[in-house]
Each structure stands twice: as structure tokens, then as C-alpha cells.
Structure 1
């Protein structure tokens, strides 16, 4: 076994242990994980897009804002996270409009900030929150794993050759089908029943996950980098590992936000939304 493969295995086991432990414990442990993900994603985003060189002052303000947002995700009022993120995004946009700079600045704030906010919010709500985050993990992992193997086995037309030449339509479809099956099996195991609604959700989250994967591939290709960073030995960076996951989290979190006002049910958790609890 090569040293590189050993590093990859060890770091993968450590990552899985930390994530699963924080997921099981929930509460502060999971909120700290969500806050850390937000900070690390912004670090990688700002490095890839060279924000310090292009807009030093704006990037400094963004760092202050992201740190405050991360602190609120971990220790503050969850209901304040979206207003804080919205205010920070508007501030960054105004800095670009008034003082010039690059739109990668507000884009990075939204991407990294929403990653932490959505990830943390999904786990809220006791058992329903645990079920919700496990559902998201299951759908995303099933999509990634089966898309890879089905794509390699069947090959066929490329999904987005200019962005990610290795991805195929057969892999994308295979990943989505497997995600639906995995989501149904998890829901059946947790609640003893399934519904057409779970199929729709698994489909939406699987597609969102694949869009997230392509989005990160686009960013890296746009700036000519292979990995988002070298923070994780043998794996690259945090963005490399959570690209599909964060887009799936975006989807379920934003759908839950829309569901509350549309149905007149205030304070609906993601778990309640997903499983009709």
C-alpha cells in the first residue's frame, strides 16, 4: 500500500468518525461542525478566487462577517443566522458596486455562509433532525458512489464535458435511481413506512447534489486548480468533499423555509418537513 493511499484511508476514517460522532450527539457538537465547515469553505473559496489580491478590504470585511456568522451558528440564535447572512451578502454586494472588485466576493460569502446555516439547521429537532441529516447523507453518498460505478460500467454520452469530462449521463441517472432506493430504505427502516413524497425528495436532493459537484468542478476549472486546498491529506480540501452535500443541504433547507409561510406552519424543522411529522 502506497504512503499516499495510507494517508487517504487514515484521514477518511478520521473524517467519518468526527462527522458521524457529531451527527449522533447533535446539539453544540454538530453546530460547531457546521460553523467549522462554513469557515473552511470560505477560506478555500477566497484562496481559489484570490480575493485577497483582488479586493483586500472587502475580503477582510467578509472574514469578520463569516466569523460572526459562524459564531452565531455555533452559539447563538438559529433564527438570526439567515438575517445575518442576508445582511452580510448585501454589504459585500455594495462594496463591489461602490468600490469595485470582484463578484466572487459576495458569491463566496453566500456559498460558505449558507453551507453552515443549512447544515446546522437540518440536524435541529431531536430524532427528526437526526433522521433528516441521515437522509441527506444517504441520498448524497448513494448518488456519489453509484454514479461513479455506473458511469464507469456503462459510459455513454458525457454529462458536462467542458466542466467535468469524466461524468456521464448514465452515471447521473444511475446515481439518482440508487439515491431514491437508498432514501426509501432508510425511511422505511426509521419510520416503518414510505411515500411518494420521499421519492420526490430523494430525486430533488440527488439532482441538487450532482449540480453541486459540477459547480465546484466549474470553479476549479475556472481558476485552474486541481483541489480546493490540501487541508485533508489524500483528499484535497473541504469543498472537494462536501460539494454535493452542501447543495443538497441548500435544497432541503430552502424548501423548508418556503414550506412554513406557504402552509402557515411557523417553526417547521427540516425533519418535520421531510417526514411529515
Structure 2
């Protein structure tokens, strides 16, 4: 079986399961399910950032405790989303600075960075799901990200000529990014209209910035893997690698999407 076939089968199974969970689970159960996968991703982050096997387990515990603390503290969701968005803006700076800032990823600061990447995304996703029509807005977010990934892959293969960040992720092109943006806007808007959601006037801007953030999330994880000299973050998903390989775009896009919706509604 080809790598592409494995990717399509794995992605289809994951997407079907996630869509079912988004639409059928109450917010508490949905947040718990996402937390399970986020903690698996945290273990991979600890490993990639230089933790020992035991240290990676401890890192998972730290992420879990801090996430629970954030929930108990009941902070303003906009503030948490803003923290996450600000962190990914910093990652964009690291992409431009590559390879000068790569030492951070294998430093204790890299583990602290993982907290800023993981916890705001999880909290923001749970918050979004709990809003009126929240499950549908989560689907809009998901299809926006999936559209961006799919459009970038196929447009990049067919038309890609100009490298987006050749020293970080040689396979990404500007043509792919444009194709991804187009399909993301189409997919996200289609789900919103099918669900009968009231689309705010600035939604297209929010979606476009969300797509840009998803690309930064992907590039940020590429930097983390390069620093660890790894091709994938793990082996859990055939053809896709580990959990971080599947959620890197989501980690960056979620707080940006939530913050953007708050600003335009």
C-alpha cells in the first residue's frame, strides 16, 4: 500500500471519528477526549525537546496539572486564546530566524514553550465547543484546517514552484499555500452555511488568518523535529506519524480562530 493510500485511509478514519465526537458528545466529554490526545502529544513534545523517557512522562503530568489549574481558575477565554496566538506569533519569528534560534527547542525553554502551544489550544477548543452552536463552529474550524492542508498538498504538487520556507520545510510552496487558502475558505464557509450559522462580516479575514496560523503551526513542529533530528513526532498513525504530526496546525489555528471570532462577533 502506498504512503498516500495510508494517509487517506488514516485521515478518513480520524476525521469520521472526530466529526462524530464533535456533534454527539457533550462539551465535558469532548474536552476529555481531546485532552487524552493532547496529553499523548505532550509526551511526544517532551521527547522531542530532550526529555528522558521518564522525563517525558513527568512532562505529561505537568501539562495535565497546569491544564486542570487553568480550568479551575476560570480565566477569560479571550485572554487564554490571546496567549496562545502570541506564542505562535513568536514561533513565526523563530521560523524567520532559523537556524539561529533552533537551540530553544532542545532547551528547558522548549518544554515551557510546549505548555504555551498545548494548553491554550485545548482550552480554546473546549470553550468554542461549549458556545451556542459551538459544535458547528468547531466543525467550521476543522474543515478550514483540513481544507488548507488538502488544498496545499494538491496545489503544491501540481503547481508548486516557489518554496515557502525551504530551510524549514522544503515541501511547502507559495502556490500550495494559496491553493490551501482557497480550499479552506470554501470548505469552512460551506460548513457554516450548511449549519445555518450566522456568518459575521469579518469571517473571511478570520478564516484567512487562521489558515496562516495553521501553516505556522506546521512549520513550528518542523523546527522542533529538525532540532531533534526526527522525521515524525511518533508512529501512532500509519502514514501520518505521531499525534503532533496530526495536530500541529490545530494547535496554532485554534486560539487564533477563537480570538478572531470574539473580535468580529
TM-score range, shorter chain: 0.7 to 0.9
Matched, 1:182 2:187: yes
Contact 2:45/2:111, CA 8 A, preserved across alignment? no
The answer for unaligned runs of 5 or more in structure 2 is 84-106
* Selected match of 1:133 from 138, 142, 147: 138
Matches within 5 A, 1:215-254: 215-254=220-259
CA distance in 1, matches of 2:222, 2:181: 19
CA displacement at 1:159 relative to structure 2: 0.3
Report the equivalent of 1:120: 126
1:165 match: secondary structure = strand
Report the equivalent of 1:208: 213
2:230 match: secondary structure = coil
With over 3 angstroms needed to count, the CA separation of the structure-2 counterparts of 1:29 and 1:7, relative to structure 1, is farther
With over 3 angstroms needed to count, the CA separation of the structure-2 counterparts of 1:14 and 1:148, relative to structure 1, is closer
Contact 1:119/1:246, CA 8 A, preserved across alignment? no
Matches within 5 A, 1:7-18: 11-18=10-17
CA distance in 2, matches of 1:38, 1:199: 28
Q: Which has the higher contact order (CA 8 A, sep 6+)?
A: 2
CA displacement at 1:152 relative to structure 2: 1.1
Output the TM-score relative to the length of structure 2: 0.77
CA RMSD of the aligned region, Å? 3.2
Contact 1:151/1:172, CA 8 A, preserved across alignment? yes
CA distance in 2, matches of 1:156, 1:8: 24
Report the equivalent of 2:63: 66
Q: 1:40-91: per-residue Cα shift (whole Å, max 9, x none)?
A: 12100001112238x95xx776443322245568xx65825979999xxxxx
CA displacement at 1:28 relative to structure 2: 2.4
With over 3 angstroms needed to count, the CA separation of the structure-2 counterparts of 1:7 and 1:115, relative to structure 1, is same
CA displacement at 1:27 relative to structure 2: 1.9
The answer for unaligned runs of 5 or more in structure 1 is 87-100, 260-272
Q: 1:221-246: per-residue Cα shift (whole Å, max 9, x none)?
A: 12210110112233210110111122
Which segments of structure 1 move beyond 6 Å, counting only runs of 4 or more? 4-7, 81-86
Contact 1:69/1:81, CA 8 A, preserved across alignment? no
CA distance in 2, matches of 1:16, 1:29: 18
With over 3 angstroms needed to count, the CA separation of the structure-2 counterparts of 1:154 and 1:256, relative to structure 1, is closer
